[in-house]
């Protein structure tokens, strides 16, 4: 009796995990496509960290939550900002110094793990968001893969696993029914 209960719990757990992974991947991909490439949750954007410049606080391969928008001249020394270095390259570094030149504000930045500050100051117009302290290690590798050309595989794999597991469950149920009906036939023959 206990063995059946354990099998049922394991079976249900596997099914729930596979469905959760599938739905999580669907949510991440759909939300990233709807947001124009970066998933957003409750006004925060999720960014993938692909370098170790902010270690140990932000590990390579992590995802971080950043808050876009607002007055990009508001940052002060010690804040961590995400800015455009080039058209398609985002960097998250700490503000070392705020440089005001008339109406323009620039930030001297540095990665916590870097030996020297960044070569050029960051214009406030190039700041896209502020890092809010939320990070999840290693998920960034997964998210980066999901946004690649091969990311569709991440839908296919859980789908195939669900189909195989469902097939196995159906096969076990049919085997149990067949075994039960064979036992009934044997009992009927013995009675006759």
Nearest to 97, CA basis, from 82, 83, 66, 118: 118
Cis preceding linkage at 56, omega within 30: yes
Token duo for residue 134:
């939320």
The reply to whether 175 belongs to the active site is no
CB neighbourhood size of 59 (10 A): 16
Would you call 37 helix, strand, or coil by DSSP? coil
From residue 53, how far is each of 113, 138, 156, 167, 168 by CA, in Å?
Answer: 5, 15, 34, 47, 47
Q: Strands (DSSP E) along 21-136, which ranges?
A: 40-41, 44-48, 63-68, 80-86, 89-101, 104-110, 122-123, 127-136
Q: Which residue among the candidates 31, 51, 62, 192 is catalytic per the annotation?
A: 51
- Annotated catalytic residues are 51
């Amino acid at each position: 009796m206990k063995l059946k209960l354990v099998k049922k719990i394991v079976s249900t757990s596997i099914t729930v995990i596979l469905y959760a992974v599938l739905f999580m991947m669907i949510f991440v991909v759909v939300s990233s496509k709807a947001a124009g490439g970066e998933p957003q949750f409750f006004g925060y954007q999720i960014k993938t960290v692909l370098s170790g410049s902010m270690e140990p606080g932000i590990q390579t391969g992590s995802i971080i939550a950043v808050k876009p928008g607002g007055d990009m001249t508001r940052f002060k020394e010690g804040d961590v900002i995400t800015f455009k270095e080039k058209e398609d390259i985002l960097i998250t570094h700490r503000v070392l110094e705020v440089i005001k030149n008339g109406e323009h504000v620039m930030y001297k930045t540095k990665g916590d793990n870097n030996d020297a500050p960044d070569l050029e100051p960051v214009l406030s117009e190039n700041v896209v968001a502020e890092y809010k302290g939320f990070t999840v290690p290693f998920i960034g590798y997964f998210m980066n893969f999901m946004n690649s050309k091969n990311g569709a595989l991440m839908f296919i794999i859980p789908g195939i696993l669900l189909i195989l597991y469902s097939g196995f469950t159906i096969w076990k149920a049919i085997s149990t029914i067949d075994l039960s009906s064979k036992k009934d036939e044997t009992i009927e023959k013995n009675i006759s």
